[in-house]
Amino acid sequence: MDSLSRGLKWLVLTSVLVVSAAGCIGVSPEQQLANELGPDPGPYSRGPLHRAGFPCTNCHGDLWWQDHPTFELAGTVYKTPTDDSGSHGSQVIIEDAKGQKITAQTNAVGNFFLLQNGMSVGRGGGGGGNDGSTVITAGLTFPLRVSVKTGAVEQKMRGLIWRERSCANCHNKQLGAASNGRVFAAENSP
Amino acid sequence: MRYRSATLTGWLVLCIVSACAPASRPNDPIMPRDPLLLETHVQPYLDLACASIDCHGGDGRPLRLYSELGRRAQASLRPQPISNAHDPLALTKQELSDNCQAFAGVELASGPGDKQLALRKPLAASAGGMHHIGGVHWADKLDPGYLCLRGFLVGDITQDLGSVCAEATAKLQP
């Protein structure tokens, strides 16, 4: 009876320790970032058109293993600062610190993303086409100089990108103290 | 009465001359973390090199800095997106003062003179620097960016602060 009681005590103690340890582990910072995005609002299912305006590399980043493929740089271009529709066919012109020049083209919802050589988007496209993907042969070296061109109109970013790989982490929908608003090429009509 | 009038005129002339003079000259002694020097010479370099929202303009970053292109103290200071048609508003006196305080805090935490982290983190390890997530900005202590920040923070450079800051800023212009 005494040994049974002692065994029961150990069992209870071990269970408490295991449950406590699991509680301490929590979620990784990468998982936390992805969780903060919330559920996909649609209307597109996963693929090059989904989650326009979201910070892509929160899930498609090199520290993340869940959402293949990983992007070197990605974002969404809008027609104007206040237009909710993405700009199809805009060019995003990037020059990195080593002089590598890349021109990406946005897809139907305004998304673009740079893929490292050997990666493909899986469903919905394969790089270098209308799906918004551009395959690059060498990784980007920061800082980056970026401009966006829609037709003949070009906006050159006045600052440099030093480390961020998702446009939307700095260019939120909401203009404010820590955001210049969305990425756009054409000004609002006066 | 005549003496008072002459004194007043003297002060007036002095004020006008001071206002016309450049903020620093090569042999002027530099007062460390002078907000006027920050505004005139150093802030344009910080705007491009350090204070972007993805670096020291980021929320919760050590040495958080305000800048025209990056973080503002209030949303009302960015009334419209910066673009070809719209320049950013200039930093307020309070934002400039807060930037000076941010540097003062780093100095307090890490040590005076060239020991302060703001001078060591962006400097290459081979030149006495240390690891910086934002990368190596200065290969050595002769880099104009290093001299610009050292002049502002320590005040012991022999070069003209305005010139080295302008050179450092020009290298980063998009």
B170 reaches A (C-beta below 8 A):
no
By residue count, chain B amounts to 174
CB contact under 8 A, A157 and B174: yes
**Probe site for chain A from B45, B48, B54 (most A CB atoms < 10 A):** B54
Predicted pLDDT at B155: 94
**What local confidence, expressed as pLDDT, does residue B111 receive?**
87
In terms of C-beta distances under 8 Å and separation of at least 24 residues, what long-range contacts does B86-92 make, across chains too?
Answer: B91/B39, B91/B43, B91/B66, B91/B67
B169: buried, middle or exposed (CB in 10 Å: 19+, 13-18, 0-12)?
buried
pLDDT band at residue B25, thresholds of 50, 70 and 90?
A: low
A173 or B101: which carries more pLDDT confidence?
B101
Q: Where are the domains of chain A?
A: 1-39, 53-190
**Which residues contact residue A157 at a Cβ distance below 8 angstroms, ignoring those fewer than 6 apart?**
A145, A146, A147, A148, B174
Number of Cβ atoms within 10 Å of the Cβ of B87: 10
Q: Is A57 exposed, middle or buried (CB count within 10 Å of its CB: 0-12, 13-18, 19+)? A: buried
Sequential pLDDT tens for chain A (190 residues)? 566 677 778 888 887 777 666 666 678 777 888 888 899 888 888 889 999 999 999 888 877 666 678 899 999 999 999 988 899 999 999 999 999 999 999 999 999 999 987 776 654 444 456 899 999 989 999 999 999 999 999 999 999 999 999 999 999 989 999 999 999 988 887 6
Quick check: B82 and A158 CB within 8 A?
yes
For residue A31, the distance in angstroms to the closest alpha carbon of chain B comes to: 19
Q: If we measure between CA atoms, which residue out of A75, A97, A104 comes closest to residue A142? A: A97
Residue B40 DSSP label: I
CATH 2.60.40 fits A53-190, yes or no: yes
Tokens of residue A20, six digits:
């406590």
Residue contact A161–B133, C-beta within 8 A = no
Please tell me which residue, A64 or B131, carries the higher pLDDT value.
Answer: B131
pLDDT above 90: residue B24: no
Contacting residues of B for A160, CB less than 8 Å apart: 48, 52, 172, 174
8 Å CB contact between A76 and A183:
yes
B48, B57, B77: residue with CB nearest A160: B48
- At B15 the pLDDT is 41
pLDDT tens for residues B65-100? 999 999 999 999 999 999 999 999 999 999 999 999
Nearest neighbour of A145 by CB, restricted to B47, B75, B174: B174
Chain A neighbors of B52, CB-CB under 8 A: 159-162, 170
Residue A118 amino acid letter:
G
> Chain A residues with CB inside 8 Å of B172's CB?
143, 160
Is B60 an 8 Å CB contact of chain A?
no
Q: For residue A27, what are the contacts with CB-CB under 8 A and spacing of at least 6?
A: A35
Under 8 Å between Cβ of A70 and A64? yes
Tell me how far CA of residue A135 lies from CA of A63, A111, A120, A123, in angstroms. Answer: 19, 14, 8, 16
Separation between Cα atoms, residue B99 and residue B102, nearest integer Å: 5
Residue B48, φ and ψ in degrees, nearest 5:
-90, -35
What are the DSSP E strand ranges found in chain A?
71-78, 91-95, 101-105, 111-116, 133-136, 145-150, 153-156, 183-184
Over the Cα atoms of chain B, what is R_g? 18
pLDDT at position B144 over 60: yes
Residue from the list B48, B81, B133 with its beta carbon closest to the beta carbon of A175: B81
Chain A nearest-CA distance from B151, in A, is: 23
Interface ipTM > 0.85 = no
| Chain A contact present for B52, CB below 8 A | yes
What is the model's pLDDT at position A123? 43
Radius of gyration of chain A (CA): 22
| Strands A71-78 vs A111-116: parallel, antiparallel or unpaired | antiparallel
Shortest alpha-carbon distance between residue A159 and chain B (Å): 6
Please check whether residue A177 touches B, CB under 8 A. Answer: yes
Domain boundaries, chain B: 30-72+90-172
Nearest residue on chain A to B46, judged by CA atoms?
A159
| Overall average pLDDT of the B34-42 stretch | 96
Which residues in B35-76 belong to E strands, given as ranges? none
Q: What is the pLDDT of residue B14?
A: 44
